[in-house]
Amino acid sequence: MRGLIHGALWLSTASNRPILAMLSHIAIARNAILPSSRGAAPMYGPNIQAPSVQLDAPEHGWTSGRITVAHDTTIDLPTQTLGENQFRVSVFDGSGLPISHATSTIAITRTHSTAAAIPATQTIAVKVRTGSGTRNTLQPLIKKGTPLPASGHQPLKAAYAIGPNLPGEIDLELFQDEGAPEPDLNLAIGSFRICHHDLPEGMMIKEGDPVFFHWSMNDSGVLTVSVELPSLRQRFSSGRFYVDQEGRFIGR
C-alpha cells in the first residue's frame, strides 16, 4: 500500500538556526504503514524501516551521507561561499532505493552578516564663543545615542587673527557635555591647536575667517578630527582618539 509520512527535515547553517523545513509529505510505497496523525512522528509496522535523505554539494565535495528521517531531523549545511550555495537532495525509501520524484535541488544564499548599530555613549561637543563674544558655550558634535559609525562637520569662525606678525594659536577644545552651563565645568577630553607657525609662510588667519571642524567616529569609539581653513586652502589632521565610557580622550 502507499502511505504518507508526516515528519519534517530541518536544515540549518553553522549557526544552528533552522532555515528550511521540507519533506513534510513524502509518498512512499510500503508493505504496511500504520496510521499516524498529522505532525506526529511516523509510525511504522513490524520490520519497516524509516526513509533516509542525503544532501550533496558537489562543487565543494561535501556530502551529509544518508541520514534516517525521524521526527524533526536536523542537518547542518556548510555555506562556504558568499552568494548562492546549491545542495542536491536525494531521498531513499526504507529499503535504500532512491525515490526519484522526491529528488530536488535547493539553494541557500549567504550574505555578509549585519548587526544593529552601536550608539555613541557620550555627547561630545566643541567649545565655541557666542555671537556676542562675551561668553563660551558648547556646540554638540556627536550626541549621545547617535548610531555609529557616524561623521560630520561643524562650521565655525576664527575668534581672532593669527599670523606672522600676530603670534598665537587657535584652540578647538573638546568636552564631554554633561549639562553644566559653563563649558569648563564639563569633562575636558582633548583639544586641537593650530599655531601661527603651523601656517604656510606669509599667510594668516583673519578674525571671522571660516573654520570647518570635520569629525568621524567608528563603531569602536575611535574619533578622528581635522580642521579645514578654506581661505588658506589648508587642512590639518589629528591622530586618532578614543572616547571611552568615562569620557577620557586617549590619543592613538
The CB density around residue 235, as the number of other CB atoms within 10 Å, is 12
AA identity, residue 106: I
pTM over 0.75, yes/no: no
| pLDDT (tens digit per residue) in 17-74 | 433 434 433 333 333 333 333 444 444 444 557 888 999 998 888 999 998 887 667 7
Is-contact 188 200, C-beta < 8 A?
A: no
What CA–CA distance (Å, rounded) separates 251 from 243?
A: 9
Take residue 145 and report the three cell numbers written for it.
Answer: 545615542
Count of other CB atoms within 10 angstroms of residue 161: 16
Task: Assess whether the previous peptide bond of 119 is cis (omega < 30° from 0).
Answer: no
Q: What is the pLDDT of residue 169?
A: 85
Q: How confident is the model at residue 209 (pLDDT cuts 50, 70, 90)?
A: very high
Query: pLDDT tens digits for 124-182?
Result: 999 998 876 678 899 999 999 899 889 999 999 998 899 888 888 888 889 989 888 89
Domains along the sequence of the chain with CATH: 2-110 (2.60.40), 118-251 (2.60.34.10)
